[in-house]
Structure 1
Amino acid sequence: MSRVYLDHNATAPLRPEARDAMIAAMEVVGNPSSVHGEGRAAKALVERARAQVAELVGCSPGEVVFTSGATEAACLAIPAFATVSSAGIEHDAVLSWVQSEGADLTHLLDVNAEGVLTGTAQGESFEDKIWDDVVAMQAANSETGVLQDTMPHAQALWALKRDVRVLVDAVQALGKVPFSFARSGADFVMASAHKLGGPKGVGALIVKHGLDVTAQIRGGGQEMGRRSGTENVIGIAGFGAAAAAAKRDVDAGRWDAVEKLRKILENALAGEAKETIFVGKGANRLPNTSCFATPGWKGETQVMQMDLAGFAISAGSACSSGKVRASTVLRAMGYDDETASSAIRVSLGLETTEQDVLRFAEAWLAQERRYRARAA
């Protein structure tokens, strides 16, 4: 039987709209910085995509800075030598900045057992703890799918009247749930094209009007002087087209059907796998994401077994090494190492069918029965 792709949070399949926009952009020869007709045509593609991304995020086009991805967006938002605080549930693109500042700042913000920010830092109020330059928060967690209401925490930081900037990682939320830059409380927002059906290797940092960033890539002053280098016109055109299509899908409520499939999946597994823990089940989650752990059954083993059975899933966030490791997200939520290393993530897409979900449940439960028999 054909393979079933259930790893959309790692990367989503390229949308037809994005593919068409990229093919059309390949025929445009001009450099966006050139003033002649060919250059203006290339510039028009970039600016159209900027407007499309802005509409998805809920910001103005002038606040969109195109980058090579969300990791570069984080680097652009966080100044050199800045101190950064976040919770331990953040993606490595942000968490690595926290860890680089020393153990006393690592995992500063508290989360509860569902992975939701509590509004405290190391058990104390923000007033006593937050003295950093940047505070990073997620709109949605890539591993558990748990959603955060970042605005109340941003308001608590504003009340301190300190020069603290709020960086919101909206990579997983954009294109799956409604998102508003203004209602997020963010000064900066990270976005990535390939998480919503655009091409890999392009993303954006949203910079609140009136603020600025220090360019990490210097040169000709492209992207309003914030990110030099000739723009990736083809990738940016694909990003814009994917953003426009993703917004239409969110507005049309297409992800509601995906949420129903996620519930079908979890109910099918929970009915037999009594020892399996569904992470973040009591919190608001992305409609497509299910993270579950069977303590003692390594997540890496499950990923390989399901791969052989024809299903693409993951154990945590995709990392460049290709290695599977115990989830730092689950550890931050209070799970022990055995459970954290036993978690897998199934992330559905708009093209996922009920048959796909039930086939996966059948295959996974067969392996779960074998695991329990060996462990007995």
Structure 2
Amino acid sequence: MPIYLDHAATSPMPAEVLEVYTRELARRANPSALHAVGQAARMRIEEAREDIARAVGAATSSEVIFTSGGTEADNLALKGLYLTRNNGSFDAPTRPRVLTTRIEHHAVLDSVDWLADLGAEVVDLEVDSTGRLDLEAALAELRRDPEATALISVMAANNEIGTLQPLREIGQAAAELGVPFHIDAVQALGQIPLDFAEIGATAMTITAHKIGGPVGIGALLLDRSAAPTPILHGGGQERGVRSGTLDVAGAVAFAAAVELVTGDLEARAARLSGLRDRLIAGVESAVDGARLSGPRGQGRLPANAHFTFPGCEGDSLLFGLDARGLATSTGSACSAGVSRPSHVLLACGMDEDAARSAQRFSLGHDTTEDDVDALLAALPEVVEQARRAGMVSATPRWMQGAS
């Protein structure tokens, strides 16, 4: 059985969640139907919505808008809020400014770049070498022209290097200035406490498959006063914001996964932090030149350890570890198969060679000390082999010389 150290990409479904999911899949009904079977399905959807709302600190269950996942939720938040702030039009926007960082997930970055092509003015907020937002500079930028600002979007925790961001300070300032604040909390859910109401955000993205739920279901937490312009049109489900037949089985399993990871969050985070620190100390001791990316201790996600290995190609490390039964990652799974340096590491000031030498180890509910020790035993040889192979061109060999 391979040792799975890529929970940040997708976390395997625990038995408790799988049981709930498979039971629900055996039922059939559209929750919008008016017959008794349909209304029973609707009741299960609403119970799931209430469970998720309670776990993440939403004021009411109506603030949970189900989506197909994190990517859709990010797109809905950014594009929908931008349009609403600009009277539903891209023509001559009165609030063109969109504030974000360049270490966001591509679901945010690509949405922001799409808005820029249509007239938005993107303001890049600086991060330091650990990936942490320069809070003072960000607040100054937020206060510089709030009347012309459509929204600010900052992730709760970076999906590659695990850096946590100062959400409450941003939320307080954004609320005072009347600027919508969106959080991508996909990686943070189940690892750090999330309280949507306390943070003061307008919208917050979460998804199921990062916490052991099914792929294809997520949610946008949306303040009751917010009304983003829909980007999907149809039956008017989910407060008229996100049309589409609701996935009952997915929502119920999502709620079960949320309850599982948040019910004992403190103990879970402590266990993962211990494994993470064991891994970090072991890598630094066993591999010459290994460099931890992101901050240490409480400044990073409990389940994230990310290193660069000078002189190595990230893919060489990945395949070397994979051949030894260890599943790891070079970074975001959404960029898998694309031979290019991490945009996150470049934004943190690394050069391209360093950014291409990365390996992410992300832990989860089934990770053990033996798993960490197996990685530490295999890694020195894999690094040595990768260093002998050296860095390769960013252009795949089969493409070299092609016109």
Bin of the TM-score, shorter chain as denominator length: over 0.9
Question: Could you tell me how far 1:85 is from its partner in structure 2?
Answer: 2.2
Aligned mates of 2:123, 2:14 — CA distance in 1: 36
Structure 1, unpaired ranges of 5+: none
Secondary structure of 2:340 counterpart: coil
Identify the range of structure 1 (228-237 vs 62-71) with the bigger mean alpha-carbon deviation. 228-237
Aligned mates of 1:314, 1:367 — CA distance in 2: 14
1:137 counterpart = 2:136: no
Aligned mates of 1:289, 1:306 — CA distance in 2: 17
5 Å-filtered alignment, 1:148-163, equals 148-159=165-176, 161=177, 163=178
Structure 2, unpaired ranges of 5+: 84-89, 91-95, 391-403
Secondary structure of 1:221 counterpart: coil
Aligned mates of 1:240, 1:177 — CA distance in 2: 17
Residue 276 of structure 1 is matched in structure 2 by: 290
Aligned mates of 1:256, 1:110 — CA distance in 2: 30
Aligned mates of 1:212, 1:312 — CA distance in 2: 41
Report Cα offsets for 1:186-225 as digits up to 9, x if no partner.
1000010101110001100010122212222222211122
1:98 counterpart = 2:98: no
Identify the range of structure 1 (18-27 vs 170-179) with the bigger mean alpha-carbon deviation. 18-27
Aligned mates of 1:198, 1:166 — CA distance in 2: 26
Question: Could you tell me how far 1:122 is from its partner in structure 2?
Answer: 8.2
Secondary structure of 2:135 counterpart: strand
5 Å-filtered alignment, 1:111-190, equals 111-120=127-136, 125-128=141-144, 131-159=148-176, 161=177, 163-190=178-205
Identity of aligned residues (%): 37
Residue 327 of structure 1 is matched in structure 2 by: 342
Tell me the TM-score normalized by structure 2: 0.86
Identify the range of structure 1 (103-112 vs 85-94) with the bigger mean alpha-carbon deviation. 103-112
1:108 counterpart = 2:97: no
Question: Could you tell me how far 1:249 is from its partner in structure 2?
Answer: 3.1
Question: Could you tell me how far 1:156 is from its partner in structure 2?
Answer: 2.8
1:87 alignment partner, one of 97, 101, 105? 101
1:207 counterpart = 2:222: yes
Question: Could you tell me how far 1:345 is from its partner in structure 2?
Answer: 0.4
Q: Which structure is higher in helix share? A: 2
5 Å-filtered alignment, 1:196-275, equals 196-251=211-266, 253-275=267-289
Question: How many pairs does the alignment contain?
Answer: 371
Assess if the C-alpha contact under 8 Å between 2:97 and 2:123 holds in 1.
Answer: no
Question: Could you tell me how far 1:285 is from its partner in structure 2?
Answer: 0.8
Residue 394 of structure 2 is matched in structure 1 by: none
Residue 357 of structure 2 is matched in structure 1 by: 342
Residue 62 of structure 1 is matched in structure 2 by: 62
Aligned mates of 1:72, 1:24 — CA distance in 2: 26
RMSD: 2.2
Tell me the TM-score normalized by structure 1: 0.92
